[in-house]
Amino acid sequence: MLKIVIAGIATESCTFSTLPTRLADFNIVHGDDTLFWERYPFLSDYADVEFVGTVVAKAMPGGSVEAAAYDVIKQDMLKLLREKGAFDGVYLDMHGAMNVQGRDDAEGDWYTAIREVVGDDCLISASYDLHGNVSERIMQTLDLMTGYRTAPHVDVIETRLRAVALLIRCLREDIRPKKAFVKIPVALPGEKTSTEWEPGSEIYAQILAKIDGEQVMDATIQIGYVWADEPRMTACAIAIGLDDDAIQEAAIDLAETYWSRRADFEFGVPAMSVTDCIRQAMKDSVSPVLISDSGDNPTAGGVGDVTVFLQESLELKPDNMVYASIPDAIAVEMCIDAGLGASVTLEIGGKLDKKHSQPLSVSGIVQFILDKPHNRQVVMKSDGILIIITEQRTPFHHRQQFVDLNIIPEEQHIIVVKIGYLVPELKAMAKKAYLALSAGAVNQDIVRLPYQRIHRPCYPFDSDMIWTPQVQVF
């Protein structure tokens, strides 16, 4: 019987964020917890394989991970790896865009540490978010890697299954595939590279045509995570399989296609300044109109409490707007202490990200209180705006989150969410949508961000550069 161990660590680290990711920010699940195995419902299909769980840690995107926090999780995982014996293979449930304070290529470090424990004969397979960054060390250390093919990500389980299925096949057939890797010097935000519209949809549709299951067993295009100022930040194309020539050809073809369309990537909805988005939405006759406060998107690594958009909204005074949300534990406590229906004046936001905004003075009425464990939430009404304030950084991606706060989305004219491209549930809800080019750590105007350590030349920083693909085979 084959014996495969499972481990993982997943977060997206914005190096421009002022808010570090700490140990408490990780949801750490061990192999003796039922929640661990719920991530992998397909494992029951492999009755002849023994799966052993160690540690899977996941944190909401944010700033760089504190080194001490990373070391604690890593050592916990390695300890269990040593205790649970020898393995035929390792499956790693990853994201690929983690940055640890003072260190580059965090995933490469994670894999190298695992390789030192399991040895060179053990096969290692990883599943990735397509916004993960890949280094040469990663390609040298992993035997198999496959990534999401959709953004928004609707193929999470399928990708995990593919990584496991490839690993099991290689173990059963005694295969150690070759890997072709092409760096693509293109840095683009996910808000432009969604697979729901062209050219992203067209480019990603070409992946399956490159895979024959033998010469090319799998292929991946990594868009990369653009808000990480480290040398490995770039797009890339990867192909794995049994034939050197075939995988090189596949990786080069995918890379050249991506490169050739680099200037064609655009936002999927109209993108404007904060002021223009609000004014246009106020004119729209349909409801609800959704606006993305994209520069402070916590699911891309933004801090979440930048007040610039909210301040502009209060000045323009739209009628019937919901703003979701501002994390501010002090303001939540003050609202709860004041009670439902109370008039309050608060200094909200601008406490976690002091670089891009400052606390905003707001007066209004406490409209609703949600006593949610570990993340109490309140709704404060100021003129025609319902402001959602939360104890914790909280992305609003689901209709039920609004309903829980006694807000019916379909009855609102404008809903502002701190997000980039709309996730499927929000997209289905929106009658119209706009993307605000707002301030924050994940500002969409990446050319203006203070990069110092990425490899140059790189598009769009060097828009007139010439590039010829160079393939590396591992």
pLDDT value at 233 more than 90: yes
Task: Please write the tens of the pLDDT for every residue from 139-164.
Answer: 999 999 999 999 999 999 999 999 99
Report the pLDDT averaged over residues 158-180: 98
Whole-prediction pTM: 0.96
pLDDT band at 28 (very low <50, low <70, confident <90, very high): very high
Mean pLDDT of the chain: 98
Residue 113 confidence class, pLDDT cut points 50, 70, 90: very high
Give the residue extent of every domain in the chain.
Answer: 2-264, 271-443
* DSSP letter string, 35-79: HHHHT-GGGGG-TTEEEEEEEEEEE-SEEPBPHHHHHHHHHHHHH
Q: Would you say residue 219 has pLDDT above 90?
A: yes
Could you report the per-residue pLDDT of 56-89, keeping only the tens digit for each?
999 999 999 999 999 999 999 999 999 998 999 9
At 85 the pLDDT is 86
Match 């402001």 to its residue by tokens. 387
DSSP state of 241: E
Residue 260: per-residue pLDDT: 98
pLDDT of residue 302: 97
Residue 379, strand partner residues: 368, 388
Q: Which residues touch 111 (CB under 8 Å, ≥6 apart)?
A: 92, 124, 126, 137, 138, 141, 142
Q: Pick the closest to residue 338 from 385, 375, 380 (CA basis).
A: 380
Structure confidence by residue, pLDDT tens digits, 238-267: 999 999 999 999 999 999 999 999 999 999
Query: What is the Cα–Cα distance from 305 to 459, expressed in whole angstroms?
Result: 30
The residue type at 43: L
Paired with 459 in beta bridges are: 186
Separation between Cα atoms, residue 322 and residue 346, nearest integer Å: 18
pLDDT digits (tens, 9 = 90+) for 350-388: 999 999 999 999 999 999 999 999 999 999 999 999 999
Pair of tokens at residue 252? 């080069």
CB atoms within 10 A of CB 156: 14
227 pLDDT above the threshold of 90 = yes
pLDDT of amino acid 450: 96
